[in-house]
Structure 1
Amino acid sequence: MSGGTASVLARLIPPLRPEWRRIVGSYVLATTSLLALAAIGVLAALSVGGAVVHGQWPSAAWWVALVALVLLRTLLTWREMDVSHALAYRVLARLRVALFDAYARSVPARRREHSGRAASVAMTDIEKLEFFYAHTLAQLGASVTLFVAALGVAAVLMPAAAVVMVLGAALVALTAWVGAGATRRVGEEEQGERERLSERLVDALGALREVLAYGLQDRVVADAVAATRRSVRTARRREFLAGVIDGSRELILTGVLIGVVASALFVGGVGDPRSAALAPAVLALAVAGVAAIADAAHTLSELHPLVASAARVDEGLRRSPVVAPVVDARPVPAGPLGIRFHDVEFSYDDRTRVLRRWSAEVHPGEHVGIAGPSGAGKSTVIALAARLWDPDGGEIALVDSNGRGMPLREVAEEDLRAAVAVVEQDARLFHGTVRDNLLRGTAGRTDADLVGILDRVGARDWISLDDELGEHGVRLSGGQRARLALARALCREPRILIVDEITASLDPTTEKAISQVLAEVDATVVVASHRRETLARLGRVLRVEPPAGAASPSE
């Protein structure tokens, strides 16, 4: 295993630290199983040597040992499979939870990313890696241990055979090193093809209505088939390279057999009964040891696609958090809360500045609108107020009724989420019942409370708590989703309610109803909108204008 390969795979060890005892246990099982198999071969070979040279049949002790080893090997094989499968699920869970935590700290990101790539990393890449850490790693360690043990025994019984084993193992390792570059390039190409295919499929499924409306089904299918064929051709190239390398290892293993036989005949002496009797056992030992190294080399040659997957998972785990962690959290002031923006500046990673020295204050209990042209930064202000991002400069603070401010960066995450609720324009509903969705992020609400909130947002007449919503609330209209998203936020009884363009695509009747609900909320309300009806019901409107010379980013 090259240093680069080892370093990439080693970087994923920290999330798996809680499983280290099980990983070591898997190695012990695999090693004991391989040693038992090698011992069975050596015992059988010893009996052949004794029968041919000395005319002695195996003793009763030999039969007992052989039967015991066979039973041990059977038991260990079953146990090893059981342990590795259980460990694989734990590794899968550990890596996915670690990746989810990294995305939770860094999403929504301030850079352009493709959800298809993220899905490929979370699903395909981690599924490949689970088998490596749960099974392959133990097998590699067991193979090396078996070779070292076989080499030590061979050095005692027949030193010349041990020299042949070392030469054979070196040649096997050389095949892995020679084929590493080509195999790695083809493996990366194959992984890239699969990743691009995943992106295309995610795009097509996400825009399914547009695909059907424009009659693009045949084109989507043709693109997917073409991408699949390219991936298959690349996979065949990789398999061909692997076959050539494996064939070379088989030739080397044959050479080891010939070398051990030659060392027994010529170095040990043609007429030496001891060498003749030990030759089959040493031959079995050499084959077991070098074959283990050959298996390890084959496994290593197949790791290059895994290295690409490990690099992508590692990149995901190392994502920079979008907000700085709170070091010394302060308690949130009691009572009504407002929010203050002072000289706030913000820009996206690959775009020009959106906010430049923007200041405003929303007093506790006040209902305020945020208006401005498309792309001016209204949604950015909303995200900053909810601390989904940190500003590049300036300060955002919660304000109590006495005007004292507490910077958001000093508020513990759980306290901030308890005080501030956000309803975004494209707020997602979760798969499950209405009750499940309303109780997300809150507790202690009775069904009577939930029904009251549904009535408050005008949803009680057309939906019940036990109704299934489907993925993202697909069975609902845009206005119905907006009402339920608002109801979910109200269930938390926030002291600050932040709403982003919730009425942007609603009909006038639904917009009026939602605006009326917002007007009646007994809390500080900040609403970003470009609709006059929505803004007219708010006490004050703040303007956001794009900085001079700035491009208009999408919000």
Structure 2
Amino acid sequence: VVKSFATEKKEAKRFQQENILNFRLAMRRTQAVALLSPLIEIITTIGLSAILWYGAWEVIRGVLTPGELIAFLGYVSLAIKPLNQLGKTYSLYQRALASAERIFEILDTEPEIKELPGAVKLPPIEGYVCFKDVSFGYDSNELILEDINLEIKPGEKVALVGPSGVGKTTLVSLIPRFYDSISGVVAIDGHDVKKVKLASLRQQISIVPQETILFNGTIGDNIVYGRPEATEEEIAEAARKANVDRFIESLSRGYDTEVGERGVKLSGGERQRIAIARAILRNPRILILDEATSAVDAETELLIQQALSRLMKDRSTLIIAHRLSTIQNANKVVVLNERRIEEIGSHEQLLARRGFYTRLYKTQFRPA
């Protein structure tokens, strides 16, 4: 981005300004630390001198004996070293305290989504999903979704379409309880998702996000991430179904190839297919798919579509659709508009109604 906008000098100048500010703050801290130790030395020297002068005066007056004065000075000298050491360790203590505050701020953060007391383990599911009078908003005064009523039958493929920012991703995020609805019920096989244990719920759902997330590790590590007990044969089978096996086998280290941070060493299509293999290996009953909008070549597009078809087979699937082929192959299309479900039906049925979906289709999905 910096190179494309030719702003190298601007960014270098901004970086220099931040460095100068950091240098000045570091110098102030160093000066304070450097001043502290000599200051303690001066204070202790003045104190010793005052004690010696006063003690000598008391010896002259006969109040103290020379032995008592020397003993007292010995005790004071024993206390001087710890005081000097305190000055040296004070700056270290301050830095440690600041770091501890940031650490405990994270440790003390309460999760937004909690299991209710008495939550039960969700048994193996068929994949029936029901939204009943569901409303949601990040702020209760400003709803994003309102009065959503929707049923997804086991094995059904449902495409979600609508204008950007209408709440498609938010809607599917309510199923694995990434957020909780303000009102209404989201249920899976008749179980309210708020009343089941989070682990048992999310273990039966797989998500393939629009922006593929890979961890810094090997290809094998990323495929097996959701099911670490999988065998090598199962991993290879998942890669085959995701159309990524030939690519992996062409690499010198195969499944032990490092992908880099967020999969930076792989192309977009390769990352997508590895994410699909990860979802296939998980073998979920419910699949949430946010189709990538990034362009890939025709061959890679075909491989991805074949992999997605295998992934969606016999699974309850909610797809945030960006491709016409996905919408046409869906059992039903759910059209969101202005917080609500505007229309529900097949692609052909919705076009025949000549409603909001028809206008959306003409602007977003119709082939050029």
Cα deviation 1:366-410 (Å, max 9, x = unaligned)? 1211111111111112222222222233221112xxxxx111122
Partner of 2:318: helix, strand, or coil?
strand
2:230 to 437, 445, 460: 445
The answer as to 2:208 corresponding to 1:423 is yes
Partner of 2:136: 346
Percent sequence identity over matched residues?
A: 29
Partner of 1:528: 320
> Against the structure 1 CA distance between its residues 461 and 232, is the aligned structure 2 distance closer, same or farther, given a 3 Å change threshold?
same
Cα deviation 1:394-433 (Å, max 9, x = unaligned)? 221112xxxxx11112222221222111111112112222
Between the aligned partners of 1:375 and 1:388, the Cα distance in structure 2 is: 18
Between the aligned partners of 1:444 and 1:235, the Cα distance in structure 2 is: 49
TM-score, length-scaled by structure 1: 0.55
> Against the structure 1 CA distance between its residues 506 and 353, is the aligned structure 2 distance closer, same or farther, given a 3 Å change threshold?
farther
> Gapped runs of 5+ residues in structure 1?
1-209, 400-404, 549-555
Between the aligned partners of 1:288 and 1:230, the Cα distance in structure 2 is: 42
> Against the structure 1 CA distance between its residues 459 and 371, is the aligned structure 2 distance closer, same or farther, given a 3 Å change threshold?
same
1:327 to 103, 114, 117: 117
1:358 to 127, 142, 148: 148
User: Larger deviation: 274-283 or 246-255?
Assistant: 274-283
Partner of 2:198: 413
Partner of 2:3: helix, strand, or coil?
helix
The answer as to 2:159 corresponding to 1:374 is no
Cα deviation 1:46-98 (Å, max 9, x = unaligned)? xxxxxxxxxxxxxxxxxxxxxxxxxxxxxxxxxxxxxxxxxxxxxxxxxxxxx
> Against the structure 1 CA distance between its residues 466 and 478, is the aligned structure 2 distance closer, same or farther, given a 3 Å change threshold?
same
Partner of 1:145: none
| Residues 442, 491 of structure 1: 8 Å contact kept | yes
Partner of 1:348: helix, strand, or coil?
coil
The answer as to 2:16 corresponding to 1:230 is no
1:267 to 47, 53, 58: 58
More helix by share: 1
Cα deviation 1:215-245 (Å, max 9, x = unaligned)? 3333323222221111111222233344445
| Residues 365, 524 of structure 1: 8 Å contact kept | yes
The answer as to 2:259 corresponding to 1:476 is no
Write the letter of the residue equivalent to 1:409: K
Write the letter of the residue equivalent to 2:238: I
Write the letter of the residue equivalent to 1:411: V
User: Larger deviation: 458-467 or 238-247?
Assistant: 238-247
| Residues 36, 87 of structure 2: 8 Å contact kept | no
Partner of 1:391: 181
Write the letter of the residue equivalent to 2:16: V
> Against the structure 1 CA distance between its residues 351 and 229, is the aligned structure 2 distance closer, same or farther, given a 3 Å change threshold?
farther
| Residues 225, 278 of structure 2: 8 Å contact kept | yes
The answer as to 2:247 corresponding to 1:495 is no
User: 1:359, CA displacement in angstroms?
Assistant: 2.1
| Residues 371, 378 of structure 1: 8 Å contact kept | yes
Cα deviation 1:525-544 (Å, max 9, x = unaligned)? 11112221222222111122
| Residues 500, 527 of structure 1: 8 Å contact kept | yes
| Residues 37, 87 of structure 2: 8 Å contact kept | no
C-alpha RMSD of the superposition: 2.8
Partner of 1:240: 31
TM-score, length-scaled by structure 2: 0.80
User: Larger deviation: 278-287 or 407-416?
Assistant: 278-287
Cα deviation 1:268-287 (Å, max 9, x = unaligned)? 44678x83234344223213
1:313 to 95, 100, 103: 103
Between the aligned partners of 1:498 and 1:531, the Cα distance in structure 2 is: 16
The answer as to 2:329 corresponding to 1:544 is no
Between the aligned partners of 2:328 and 2:169, the Cα distance in structure 1 is: 19
| Residues 156, 331 of structure 2: 8 Å contact kept | yes
More strand by share: 2
| Residues 161, 320 of structure 2: 8 Å contact kept | yes
User: 1:362, CA displacement in angstroms?
Assistant: 1.0
Partner of 1:498: helix, strand, or coil?
strand
Between the aligned partners of 1:350 and 1:343, the Cα distance in structure 2 is: 15
> Against the structure 1 CA distance between its residues 539 and 513, is the aligned structure 2 distance closer, same or farther, given a 3 Å change threshold?
farther
User: 1:326, CA displacement in angstroms?
Assistant: 3.8
The answer as to 2:252 corresponding to 1:467 is no
> Against the structure 1 CA distance between its residues 294 and 343, is the aligned structure 2 distance closer, same or farther, given a 3 Å change threshold?
farther
User: 1:290, CA displacement in angstroms?
Assistant: 4.6
Between the aligned partners of 2:11 and 2:24, the Cα distance in structure 1 is: 20
Partner of 2:365: none
Partner of 1:189: none
TM alignment of 1:18-167, pairs within 5 A: none
| Residues 503, 511 of structure 1: 8 Å contact kept | no
Write the letter of the residue equivalent to 2:288: I
Partner of 1:219: 10
User: 1:365, CA displacement in angstroms?
Assistant: 1.8
Between the aligned partners of 1:473 and 1:280, the Cα distance in structure 2 is: 73
Between the aligned partners of 2:196 and 2:173, the Cα distance in structure 1 is: 16
Between the aligned partners of 1:539 and 1:504, the Cα distance in structure 2 is: 25
| Residues 123, 200 of structure 2: 8 Å contact kept | no
Partner of 2:246: helix, strand, or coil?
coil
| Residues 376, 546 of structure 1: 8 Å contact kept | yes
| Residues 322, 390 of structure 1: 8 Å contact kept | no
Partner of 1:530: helix, strand, or coil?
coil
Write the letter of the residue equivalent to 2:287: L
> Gapped runs of 5+ residues in structure 2?
250-254, 341-368
| Residues 126, 154 of structure 2: 8 Å contact kept | yes
Partner of 2:248: helix, strand, or coil?
coil
